[in-house]
Structure formats: C-alpha cells, structure tokens
Amino acid sequence: MTDGARSFAIGETDFLLDGEPFRVLSGALHYFRVHPGQWADRIRKARLMGLNTIETYVAWNAHEPVRGEWNATGWNDLGAFLDLVAAEGMHAIVRPGPYICAEWHNGGLPVWLTAMEGIGLRRSEPLYLAEVTAYLERVYEIVAPRQIDRGGPVILVQIENEYGAYGDDTAYLEHLVKVTTDAGITVPLTTIDQPTDQMLTDGSVAGVHLTGSFGSRADERLATLRRHQPTGPLMCAEFWDGWFDWWGSYHHTTSAADSAAELDALLAAGASVNFYMFHGGTNFGLTNGANDKGRYLPIVTSYDYDAPLDERGDPTDKYFAFRDVIAKYAPVPDDVPAASGPAAEFEVALDAGEAAVTASVSRHDSPPTFEDLGHLSALVSYEADLDGRGGVLRFGEVRDHAWVSVDGVSVGTLSRTRHEDALVVPPGQRVRVLVEEQGRVNYDSRLGEPKGLIGGATLDGEPVSGWTATPIDVAALGAAMTDAAPAVASSTGVAPFVLRGVFELDEPTDLFLDTKGWGKGFALVNGFLLGRYWSSGPQRTLYVPAAALKAGENVLVVIELDRVADAQARFVARPDLGQLAE
C-alpha cells in the first residue's frame, strides 16, 4: 500500500475510517468558481468551521470547452485543489457528473457535446456513452491516485447527479459505475437524489450507496431515505443552506437560526452532511447557467448563495451558527477566521474606445445559431439588407437578448425573458441584430438548446434572407482593450461600447466594482473577465478577487451593450447583491 494509506468503507450503520465509525462533515467548494490563489484560504476556513471534508463537482465544460482539448491546469487543476485539501488535513468527495446542474452553464456539459447530431444525453446512447467514458477516464486519472487507500484525501465518488429527477435508465448508471471501477476507483460510490420514492428508485443503481438532497424536515427525509437504503450511514449530501439569484429577481437568503436548527436535527439523527454550499464563489466569465420552467431566467454572476462563507470568503452569521451546532457533535478548532474590513473606495476615469471586432464574417440564407458558427462566447452580430423597407420584424425565437438597429440607429430590444420575438422597425437599408447568449439552461429537457436567432426572420410576414453573422469574443475584445488604450471615441452609435480605465494599488486587495448607473454588459480587470452585470438587478456590484490584481497599475475594461456607461467607474466598500424579498 502507498505510504499514508488509510481505509474508508461503508459499514452496517456508519461510514468507517480505518475501521472506526466516522461522520462526514463536508462543505461544497467548487474549485472552478474560486480563483486558484484563494483555494487554500477557503479550504482552511472550512476546517475552522468544524468540517473534515471538502466536496466539489467537476465541470466537464470547464476542462474541455473544445472537443479533444483537455485542460487540467490553472483554474482547472483539480489535482492541485485536492492536494490542498489533503495539505489542510481534510478529506474530499468528488462529484464528476458528467452532468452537475449547479446553476452552471449547460449543467456542466460541453456545448460541443450537446450540439452533436443524434446524441442522447444522460442515457444509454452509444455516441454519448463514448464521450462520457473518455471524459470520466481523464477525471479518474487525476482522482484515482488521490484516493484515501493510496494516501490521498478522496473518500467518496458520486455517480451522475440527481438522476432520478431526470430519467430511469439503469443501464446508463451501470455503465458509469463500470467506467468508474475500471478506472481504478476503489472508494465507496454514491448517488444523490431528492428523498421521494420515485426519485430514489429511478436514480439508484445496485451496489452504490444512496444519499439525499434537502434543506428541511430532516427526520421525514431521512426516514424516506432509510426505506430505500436499509443499511449503511444516512447522509444528506446536499444540505441546502441558501439559494441562488437570477436577474430581475431579489437576493435570496435563508435564516441562520432556522438553518442551524435544521442542521441540529440532521446531526442529532446521526446523519452525515455536506453543506451546499459552504462557499459558493462566483460565476466568473460567462459561466452562469439559467433556469426555465416556462420562463427563461438567467443566473446572476455572484454565486454567494447566502452560504456560511460569503463570496469574498468572509465568515457570516450562518458560519458561526453552524460552527456552534457542529461543536455539539464533533471537535471544532479553537481558531476562528476574522472578517475582512471594508474594501477600498475610489473612482476610475473611463475613456471610450472603438470596439475592435476582428472575427470573420460569414454569409447565410437565414441567421445561423451560435452552434452553427462554433462560437463559445456571448455575442453574435447579425445583419441583413432591408432595401428601404420597414414593418414588423419577427424571429422564431430570440435566445436570449437582442439589440436591434437600422442604419446605425437603435430601434429597440428583444428579450427572451419577456417572451419577445418581434418589433416594428422603420424603413431603412440595413438591419443589425446584436444577440447575447445570457446563460445556458442547466437542467432537464432544455440542456444544450441552440442559441442565437432561432427559426428564421420575417418582415411583415415576408422572409428576410441574405444574413451575415459576426461572432464577438467578449474575453478577447476585453483583453485587446486591456493591452492598448482606446485611440478614438466610439463613433458607430451601436453596441458594444468599450470603455477603459487605469488605477493604481499599493498591493493586491479584494475590491467591489459598482455597476449602478450602467445598463448591461461585461467587465474585466487586467484581462480577467469578472462576469456580467445588468441594471435589472438584483446584483449591483461585481466581486474583484485580490488574486486577479497586482501592485502598481491595473486596467479596468467595461463592455457595455445598452448605452455608454458613466465616465467614472466606482469601487465601493461592500458588495451589493440586491434587496431581500419583503
């Protein structure tokens, strides 16, 4: 056996660590939502709350955004993340999906995968199984040597994710189990489902331990779980201690006292727990998902989740309430993390510049989708000739938000959230439709749906053909503007409008960029894409991690889509994630 190797198993009533009963006290911390320079800090604060384990999903589309181009470095260095967990003296749970939901773009599945013709997602379809097998084998090359019986931190690996809410293809789950064990995974395997009879039945597979996901009524939910899992430890593998936000809504929070009481009931019943989330982090870049239960609702950039550790990494009232409960059942370290003070407040002058779009222009009879263009970023500019005509311009569907202009003059917007697919345009020569993909739905039947202008276009009922499409890479545009100051003011009159400012810091420090007064767009610092902002709220600030900043000169770039933003950018003392529900 490897030096330092230990055993972890499922006993008749408990998890067994080196043969002794062991309660898993775990917290979810997604490495892909936290700057790598802050991984160690967040892991340490989990231990100080009394946790003994860190759980993480693996986001396939973060590791392989382009088919065959696997990346496990930098932000994607799962191995380094697990090594930091081990260095803190903690265990690890790995949930590789392949589907993760997580309010994450496309539920973690790569766009190239979900766009493959004929593919059968999350079931026993040969094309899908082949790709999933290759993915899992790559993940397990990282995970297998880091299992506890080889001296590493990993004690549990999950099969799929809440599958009972999606399907009942047992052969598919059996295939995932076989791939997992064939790849050398020897620690216990688990599934997770909400504790209803149907979901637990449909999501289970022989030989794999069942766990539940819930945030209340612990005794009732554990009793249901026990009916389906007669022996072995009970575990709430997603204890929902907060919730996520979406644009146009309010900032969701849960009572620290109520959550602590639910936790107490769960632990009093002898169950193990994994907090979802311990620390949510941020949907940096363009990684936010979306919900659609009859209305499309994209997720905000912050994934604060009202978790015990907030987006900045500071302990909250919930952190200390949970710590007090845990102390009734397990040893808790004496050290307590301190909250950070207010962030620096200052203003930065912004200069407007020409948005240099260097992407190739392609021609099509009807508007192509983002998938047709092989475009992974958030913007595509479509144009067509109107030949002096005006009238009602209608599309089959807009996914997800569009700015329409005629001959360089803005004439309105179309929003999928508002179920808009048409507007009146004045007579003119050329129409331009700038479409933003606002986030891909992260669950159920809308996984992998195409983005862009769907179903063609008509003007007063007559087809509009002869379109051009220009993909715009948001990150590349921002990086280009970071490297060179804008030479001239924007003269196009249509989005995107690009602004740039420079500020000095004595040393790197967390900041909060105030987005109030701006419309809709993206912000970057030193070429790092912080994410999206939108005046519809609730989020009014963007978190800027200290690890993305440097002593000396730093460059802020704002890519505005609605209107030219204020000539001043403001950094403020505290985050503003929006008003709470009344």
Q: What is the DSSP letter of 299?
A: B
Q: Which amino acid is at 533?
A: Y
- Each residue of 246-275: pLDDT tens digit? 999 999 999 999 999 999 999 999 999 999
How many C-beta atoms surround the C-beta of residue 559 within 10 A?
26
d(CA 156, CA 274): 12
560 is catalytic: no
Q: Is 238 a catalytic residue?
A: yes
pLDDT, tens only, 19-55 = 999 999 999 999 999 999 999 999 999 999 999 999 9
Amino acid at 92: A
DSSP 420-464: --EEEE-S-SEEEEEEE---EE-SGGGTT---EEEEEEEETTEE-
Output the DSSP codes for 523-547: EEETTEEEEEEETT-S--EEEE-GG
- Which two tokens mark 288? 């936010």
3-state secondary structure (DSSP) of residue 395: strand
* Sheet of 401-406, strands arranged across: 362-364, 467-472, 379-385, 430-436, 401-406, 409-415
| Mean pLDDT, residues 348-357 taken together | 76
Tens digits of per-residue pLDDT, 492-509?
578 899 999 999 999 999
CB 558 within 8 A of CB 535: no
The secondary structure of residue 215, as a DSSP letter, is S
pLDDT at position 495, please? 87
Distances (CA, A) of 74 to 32, 37, 326: 10, 10, 33
pLDDT band at 355 (very low <50, low <70, confident <90, very high): low
Percent of the chain, pLDDT > 90? 93
1 band by pLDDT with thresholds 50, 70 and 90: very low
The answer to whether residue 486 scores a pLDDT higher than 60 is no
DSSP state of 364: E
Task: Name the active-site residue from 55, 160, 238, 449.
Answer: 238
Q: What is the pLDDT of residues 197-207, one digit of tens each?
A: 999 999 999 99
> Would the pLDDT of 582 be above 60?
no
Catalytic position from the list 162, 262, 371, 449: 162
Q: What is the CA radius of gyration of the chain?
A: 25
The predicted pLDDT at position 488 comes to 43
Residues 465/405, Cβ–Cβ less than 8 Å: no
* 36 vs 566 pLDDT, higher one: 36
Tell me the per-residue pLDDT of 14-24, one tens digit each, with 9 for 90 and over. 999 999 999 99
Give this prediction's pTM.
Answer: 0.96
In Å, the largest CA–CA distance within the chain is: 80
Q: At 491, is the pLDDT very low, low, confident or very high (cuts 50, 70, 90)?
A: very low
pLDDT digits 0-9 by tens, 415-470: 999 999 999 999 999 999 999 999 999 998 899 999 999 999 999 999 999 999 99
